[in-house]
Structures are given as C-alpha cells and as structure tokens.
Chains A and B, each alone.
Chain A
Amino acid sequence: NAGVTQTPKFQVLKTGQSMTLQCAQDMNHEYMSWYRQDPGMGLRLIHYSVGAGITDQGEVPNGYNVSRSTTEDFPLRLLSAAPSQTSVYFCASSPWGGANTEAFFGQGTRLTVV
C-alpha cells in the first residue's frame, strides 16, 4: 500500500525555470493539500483541494498553481522559480478536510532554487 507518493525527492532549479511536483495517493481520499516547510516556520499551507475539480488557496499560494483532474493526483506547479521557493514541500491527503481526520503525508520534495 503506497499511501502518498511524491516525486521527485530532490530537485535543483535555476531561477526562472518551471517545474511540476507530483503527488499521488491510492487511498481514494477526497482532500489533498500541499505544504512547504521552512526552518522556524513550520508547515505552511500552499493550496488544497476538497475533491476532483475543486481547488483553493491556502496561506502562501503566490507563485504556485495546482489542479485536481482526478481524485488520485494533485500536482503543484512552479511557473517561474525564485530562490524564495527553496524549501521542502510536502503533499498530504485525508478522507475529508478539516477536523476529525488524520492526514497522511508524503516523504517530501527538497527543492533548491539557485
């Protein structure tokens, strides 16, 4: 049982490049989300989705786009990478959003923008 799978695990980008971080879950969860983790800041919510075709912004959405065409996949796109986007990115899923539910996290993608 794979759970939440993120790819790649590591990535180095040059400023201005674009890329997509992949996230897939095999638990048929409705709710999926993306976080970034920076030292001293904890996890900050970037975007989330409560189901296929529905996405919404979190705390720090600028510079990132998402889409949810299927229940399983929730890719995060960086259109023009900036050094400020150097971070560790985590994807998470849960049966539904909000209270009363445990979230399952991927192993993270460590992104460096030079």
Chain B
Amino acid sequence: SQELEQSPQSLIVQEGKNLTINCTSSKTLYGLYWYKQKYGEGLIFLMMLQKGGEEKSHEKITAKLDEKKQQSSLHITASQPSHAGIYLCGADRGNNDMRFGAGTRLTVKP
C-alpha cells in the first residue's frame, strides 16, 4: 500500500456542489502539500500545511491538517468546471524525500 492514501480515487460532481478529498498518511507528516494537475500538464501548487489543526483557504478551496498530523482534507465549495483536474497530496518525509498520493481525479459537470 502507498504511504499516502487518497480518497476517493475519482469524483464526479455537478457544478455548484461541494466536495471533499482526503489524504491519509501512514506516518506523521512534517509538511503536507496539495497540488493540482490539469490533464497532460505539470503540477500546480495549491497549499502547504505544517501544523496540526492548521487550515488554509484560497478562493473556494480550503485545506486542513488534522491535530495528529496524519490526515488532511481538501474541500471545494460551489465547484466550477475550472476545478476539474487531478488533485494530489504530497508529504515531506523529513529528509528531502517527497512522497505523493496516487491522486483524485475530479470531474465537474456543467
């Protein structure tokens, strides 16, 4: 199994609906990152969380790192077609070694 498990693997929502993507680590997280990848392109940085309980928002996307620092959630409010893509969580193992989850593929239907 992977060190970072993302759920769900894929998600189809109607435009305007809210959604949540989860990332669970088998180890304590020293830093948790969320990236978005548009199909066939590179990754774009969304947010970085470091402290347990930390929550950050950017436009309609909110990410939170739980108190025990082993799980993070990404919440999108009032989804739009522009939110479609693959969302990946990444974590620093503490020695310059970044690990990523397998990704969650989001489709937003107009």
Contact = CB atoms under 8 A, between A and B. Distances in A.
Interface in B15-57: 30-31, 33, 35, 40-45, 48, 50
Given A42-B102, A43-B90, A105-B42, A99 B50 contact: yes
Contact of A97 (B45, B48, B50, B96): B96
B43 A90 contact: yes
Q: Find the residue from A58, A98, A100 having the highest chain B CB count within 10 A.
A: A98
B42 A98 contact: no
Contacts of A103: 33, 43, 45, 98
Contacts of B33: 102-103
A58 B97 contact: yes
Contacts of A74: none
B48 to A, nearest CB: 7
Contact of B42 (A33, A40, A107): A107
B92 interface: yes
Interface in B75-94: 88, 90, 92, 94
Interface of A: 4, 31, 33, 35, 40-45, 48, 50, 56, 58-59, 90, 92, 97-108
